[in-house]
Amino acid sequence: MSGDASTPGAGAVPVIDLLFQDVPSVIGVPVLDSGDGVALVDVGPGSTLPALEAGLAQLGASLADVRHVLLTHIHLDHAGAAGALLERVPQARLYVHARGAPHLVRPERLMASAGQIYGDQMERLWGEMRPVPADRLTVPEEGRTLRVGRLDVRPLPTPGHAVHHLAYHVGDDLFVGDVGGVRLDALQTPRAPTPPPDIDLPAWRGSVALLRGLDARTLYPTHFGAYPQEAAHWDGLLARLEEDAERVREGLERGEAPEELTERFTEVLMNELHAEAPELPERFGFASPPWMSVQGLTRYWRRTAVRGGQ
């Protein structure tokens, strides 16, 4: 495998830009040479499988070279193309959290849930999600390092964004999926994507504490690029997470209607992003729609209130 990738920040691992909805630098797939074929971290949605193929070709590889797929979690923008890829590449194997595995084997419930949100936009956004044969799945054992070709891969349970989220530590590189935040530019403060149904603020803080303490040089968030492993990234992520969560909590306490709360949240978010880089707001909406973040935080606060009442 040869070639390099043009991504925000600097990293030794090439990242394929999936050009989601023809927008650059929104969803990225890191590509590792495992010594036993290509290893991918996530695969993107089914709608971007052709872009994944094209990106591999630019690196001197092909879809047929893929042998390992390390899924951070099963949301459609990360895992939607997994089943289709495995159908086309019989030698490939997929690694996923135990709580995500059943939804890949039988994706009907996952797709039905997404269909309630996206309606007639499902095909355009995400494409088809094919089932993954159970015997092609590996569920990592907690605390055990995976041997992937010649690579030692340490899977790390990192809930907060999703209960089934894994990060992967490989040498100097740390692949953080969504728990490391959305960061589309070096000038941007990382923002936590908070869609329903699994947002858990204490768990997210715990995941950050774990990741920031690891001996790694470079972070790879799926959305998007490569950045130094440094305190400023994690401090910024946590600060914005707390601010966003409080904004939603205060709106709920005021009794704001969902539409009003979403409108105000979006306005503040987009103004903050624009101040960091004028082109950020448009791209950020594709990586982490504000209305979904409001829904996830609303669910979190209501669930917290019920548990507090108990």
Domain membership of residue 9 (yes or no) is no
The answer to whether residues 217 and 262 belong to one domain is no
- Name the band, by pLDDT with cuts 50, 70 and 90, for residue 309: very low
Same domain, 134 and 102: yes
Has residue 191 got a pLDDT over 60? yes
Task: Determine the structural domain holding residue 253 and report its residue range.
Answer: 241-309
Q: What are phi and psi of 222, to 5 degrees?
A: -60, -30
Do 190 and 265 lie in one domain? The reply is no
* pLDDT > 90 fraction of the chain, expressed in percent and rounded: 83
Residues belonging to the chain: 310
Same domain (yes/no): 232, 283: no
The answer to whether residues 194 and 283 belong to one domain is no
177 and 132 part of one domain: yes
Q: Identify whether the C-beta of residue 48 lies closer than 8 Å to the C-beta of residue 84.
A: no
> How high is the mean pLDDT of the chain?
91
Residue 116 maps to a domain: yes
Find the mean pLDDT for residues 15-20. Answer: 96
Instruction: Say which CATH number the domain at 115 has.
Output: 3.60.15.10
Regarding whether 290 and 182 lie in a shared domain, the answer is no
What's the whole-number mean pLDDT along residues 68-75?
Answer: 96
Same domain, 132 and 119: yes
Q: Is the pLDDT of residue 106 over 90?
A: no
pTM summary value: 0.92
Flag whether pLDDT at 118 surpasses 90.
no
Question: Side-chain half-sphere of 74: how many Cα atoms within 13 Å?
Answer: 30
Task: Tell me: pLDDT of 116 over 70.
Answer: no
Q: Return d(Cα 146, Cα 287) in angstroms, integer.
A: 29
Residue 167: what pLDDT?
A: 98
* One domain, residues 109 and 249: no
Q: Concatenated DSSP letters for 116-156?
A: HHHGGGHHHHH-------GGGEE-PPTT--EEETTEEEEEE
Q: Are residues 254 and 284 in the same domain?
A: yes
Which residue, of 238, 270, 296, is where some domain finishes?
A: 238
Whether 6 has a pLDDT exceeding 50, the answer reads no
The answer as to whether 136 is a domain residue is yes
Q: What is the mean pLDDT of residues 229-239?
A: 98
282 and 268 in a single domain? The answer is yes
Of residues 114 and 234, more confidence is placed in 234
Residue-by-residue DSSP string for 196-263: SS---HHHHHHHHHHHHTS--SEEEETTT--EE--HHHHHHHHHHHHHHHHHHHHHHHTT--HHHHHH
Residue 102's pLDDT is what?
92
Please give the tally of structural domains in the chain.
2
- Out of 192, 214, 238, pick the residue that ends a domain: 238
pLDDT tens for 291-308 read 999 999 999 999 998 877
- Residue 142's CB is within 10 A of a number of other CB atoms, namely 11
> Would you say residue 3 lies in a domain?
no
Is the pLDDT at 310 greater than 50, yes or no? no
Q: Which of 195, 215, 238 is the last residue in one of the domains?
A: 238
Q: Which two tokens stand for residue 53?
A: 């193929």
Same domain for 287 and 141: no
73: its two tokens = 């979690």
Residues 6+ apart with CB under 8 A from 102: none
Does residue 162 lie within any of the structural domains? yes
- Residue 8 pLDDT > 70: no
Give the pLDDT confidence of 249-284 residue by residue, as tens digits: 999 999 999 999 999 999 999 999 999 999 999 999
Say if 7 falls within a structural domain. no
3-class secondary structure, 282: helix
